[in-house]
Amino acid sequence: MEMLQNIITFFAQTFIIVLAIIAILLTIGTIAFKSRNQKSFEIELLNEKYEDQTQALKEAMLSDSEAKKERKRSKKEEKLKEKNSSDDKSRVFVIDFLKGDIKASESENLREEITTILGVATSKDEVVVNVESPGGLVHSYGFAAAQLIRLREANIPLTICVDQVAASGGYLMACTANKILAAPFALVGSIGVVAQVPNFNKVLKKHDIEYKEYTAGDYKRTVSIFGEITEKGEAKFKEQLELTHALFKSFVARYRPKLNIEQVATGEFWYGETALMLNLVDEIKTSDEYLLAKSKQHQIVKISFEQKPTLSDKISGILTKAVTLTLEKMIEQNNITKRM
């Protein structure tokens, strides 16, 4: 009886919380609706970041009087740099593509970042993209690579840095660069295509479950999860994989003409040092090392673009949190033990 009362209390509390949230959202609804498509755009001047960090370390190792002298010297040097600085100093724009999931979800942000850069960059500038991805869906990474090609077509030098991994779809992106840098143990390559389809048709037959699939077109479905896999369908499926692989190889060869494509398009991956010997990359160097060296003569500008959560995302998050907290409270009151 007590348990039933607690359950009723739980739903009552949740309902009250939901009503309160809806009331608040209705109050600010107009403002939220207007701003739901707002996007976060951030600019960071890496030259200043590097200089501030170096200066902080210098001062930390000095006595108070020496640190005071160092600050004066640094300010004097900074003013001299500003006086002698040239407005036509070339710039290096930095973009991160570091969460390369299977759907290349960062592609939308990448598109906005590149569109913004194209509005100000010239052929004297350079774009550096840090790519980290083991690959994923063909069309998703094809779209990401297409964004990078926009820079090439605008005659803006493009450098791709691979600190950890650029394999399969990740390398599809990397190969579009004028220059590819890789850390010594970065994973590079995997120029191949894979498809995995579990099939439960035999299980259905064993339990006398009939499954029907209706299509129009001989190859609308070649292989599926529940349907019977025929020789004709399987042959077509393999043919499609080979065509995709051929397209992948052709794309890489177009942007890496010195590469022996048949040698490397086996689906294998290599570490940075070996990748250099195979012409998959052009230089062994980390992104930090490259950018720090560039900062001596260039203005380094890092830009990042992120879509802010929509109104529905916010509502969903608030409601989920409210229900979770209420449920946890009820569980605690009834001493229910949770086990992994």
Q: Which residues are catalytic?
A: 168, 220
Residue 106 Cα distances to 133, 140, 241, 276, angstroms: 11, 10, 25, 27
The one-letter amino acid code at 227 reads: G
Q: Which residues of 89-119 are buried (b: 16+ CB within 10 A; e: fewer)?
A: ebbbbbbbbeebeeebebbbbbbbbbebbee
Structure tokens at 79: 């003013």
Let me know: does 102 contact 136? Beta carbons within 8 Å: yes
Strand segments (E) across 15-58: 39-45
Q: Which of 215, 244, 242, 243 has its CA nearest to residue 230? A: 215
Other CB atoms within 10 A of residue 238 CB: 13
Give the pair of three-digit tokens for residue 101. Answer: 């999931």
Per-residue tokens: 179: 């220059």
| CA Rg value for the chain | 28
Which residues are within 8 A (CB) of 279 and not within 5 positions of it... i.e. 6 or more apart?
256, 258, 259, 260
Q: How far apart are CA 78 and CA 60, in angstroms?
A: 19
